[in-house]
Amino acid sequence: MVSGSFSRSTSIRLTPRSVGSPRVSSHRKWWAHGPSISALAVTFFLVSIVLVVGCVLYLYFVRYLNRENLVSGFPGEADACDVFDGSWVADGTYPLYNSSECPFAERGFNCLANGRKDMDYLKWRWKPRNCDVPKFNAPDVLEWLRGKRVVFVGDSMSRTQWESFICMLMTGVRDPQSVYEVNGNQISKTIRFLGVRFPDFNLSVEFFRSVFLVQPGLPPWHGPKRVHSTLKLDKMDEINGKWVDSDVLIFNSGHWWTPSKLFDMGCYFQVGGTLKLGMPINAAFRTALDTWALWVEKMVDMNRTHVFFRTFEPSHWSGSNQKLCEVTEQPSSELKGNDGSEFGDILADVTERMRVPVTVLNVTSMGASRSDAHIGIYSHPSTILDCSHWCLPGVPDAWNELVFSYLLTDGWRKMVR
């Protein structure tokens, strides 16, 4: 058993209290000896004020000060259950699908097809400490999603989760040949939009590549020569209008927020018309997430759409230059890897201040021990070494099990914010 813990959450519940009505005497002149009308009015007014103030204080403390309460338990559990505090346990009934039989699994993520011989890495299930995640049941999920639209937005990790989810659903489809990519595209990391239709269920599952979520662009004309491009931190990616009108909307961002993918490539930050050449990456990430949060509050119909944001996924590069990739045969007994914890802290701070509910998928610690589940040398083409992405089937399947256990179990017994 390999464990990874995260902050526990608690559940706060209001229990309605019944107030008995006092008996009223049938004496015809009861008002002559009871309180005056004005006294009753004053009393009623004071009681109302106390109740209003009490409700305001309760909502304030629960929503804005209860930072630990990102998740709670399943229906029927006596105590709240933090589904991200748990361990990987061996389970011979896994994996949930075969990538070689799923036409939407990218060859680069299919480690078995790319030469990996050991199979133990496929047979692990995520087990929260105080509850059980219901095993993914494709027919049930397909029926729940009938007539709906699921959208994934982010980088290649988001595309991996998108592919994982489609392959999970395919196990519940009677006629796999009926499922198709809407533009006839092969699954590729170079395409900004990929969409798969399940016509028997009137269901669309889509992926939009937006690695920063905010808008990349050309630099101002007066900028220094080293500035080849900018990230406009106060503007959402120009394709953001295609993300709305969805029923499930899952975001991620983080792996591209590094000096090698930004400054080394001549990409710097911009707010309005002003270049922010000295802005640290963490500060820029926070500004971008603030822009994203405002967009969600303004553009997303929360009566229809469930919004999720998945945290940073650990990588397991090693060596002094972080270029060695050693894939193990078993999960590590320790939580290792680059966990991007600073991004998780920023995400928690931004989402707790939002005026609408967003579910944070705190998967960081889940992957920290899974040094056995990366692609490593089993990539396509084989010259690529990869200790960032995950084999499929694998860790992203557990992310999807958590997403749809949330949707199918009344929010892990309703999240308390």
Q: Could you give the 3-state DSSP secondary structure of residue 379?
A: coil
pLDDT higher than 70, residue 114? yes
Residue 337 or 73, more confident: 337
User: How many C-beta atoms surround the C-beta of residue 39 within 10 A?
Assistant: 10
pLDDT value, residue 341: 75
CA atoms within 13 A on the CB side of 104: 30
256 and 155 Cβ atoms separated by less than 8 Å:
yes
Residues 12-30 pLDDT 10s: 333 333 333 333 333 333 3
Angstrom distance (rounded) from CA 79 to CA 373 = 32
pLDDT band at residue 380 using 50, 70 and 90 as cut-offs: confident
105 and 159 Cβ atoms separated by less than 8 Å:
no
Q: What is the mean pLDDT of residues 297-308?
A: 97
Q: What is the mean pLDDT of residues 90-116?
A: 96
pLDDT higher than 50, residue 64? no
Angstrom distance (rounded) from CA 353 to CA 288 = 15
pLDDT higher than 90, residue 86? yes
Of the candidates 339, 352, 335, 350, the one whose C-alpha atom is nearest the C-alpha of residue 312 is: 339
Bridge pairing between strands 229-236 and 193-198: unpaired
pLDDT higher than 70, residue 332? yes
CA atoms within 13 A on the CB side of 58: 10
Q: What's the chain's average pLDDT?
A: 83
Residues 335-368 pLDDT 10s: 765 655 789 999 999 999 999 999 999 999 999 9
pLDDT band at residue 371 using 50, 70 and 90 as cut-offs: very high
Q: What is the pTM of this model?
A: 0.80
pLDDT value, residue 130: 84
pLDDT value, residue 335: 74
**Chain-centre distance of CA 190, in angstroms?**
23
Angstrom distance (rounded) from CA 204 to CA 146 = 9
Residue 408 or 263, more confident: 263
Q: What is the mean pLDDT of residues 227-253?
A: 97
Q: Residue 290 is encoded by which pair of tokens?
A: 């603030």
72 and 416 Cβ atoms separated by less than 8 Å:
yes
pLDDT higher than 50, residue 76? no
CA dist 250 to 224, 364, 384, Å?
A: 37, 16, 28
Residues 6+ apart with CB under 8 A from 285: 253, 254, 257, 343, 346
pLDDT value, residue 319: 81
Top mean pLDDT of 8-17, 40-49, 312-321, 330-339 is at: 312-321
pLDDT value, residue 93: 97
> What percentage of the chain carries pLDDT values higher than 90?
66
Residues 144-193 pLDDT 10s: 999 999 999 999 999 999 999 999 999 999 999 999 999 999 888 889 99
Q: Which residues pair with 328 in a beta bridge?
A: none
> What percentage of the chain carries pLDDT values higher than 70?
78
Calculate the CA dihedral of residues 322, 325, 328, 333 and round it to 10 degrees. Answer: 10
Domains annotated on the chain, with CATH: 70-413 (3.40.50.1110)
Q: Residue 412 is encoded by which pair of tokens?
A: 């892990």
Residue 197 or 46, more confident: 197
Angstrom distance (rounded) from CA 181 to CA 190 = 15
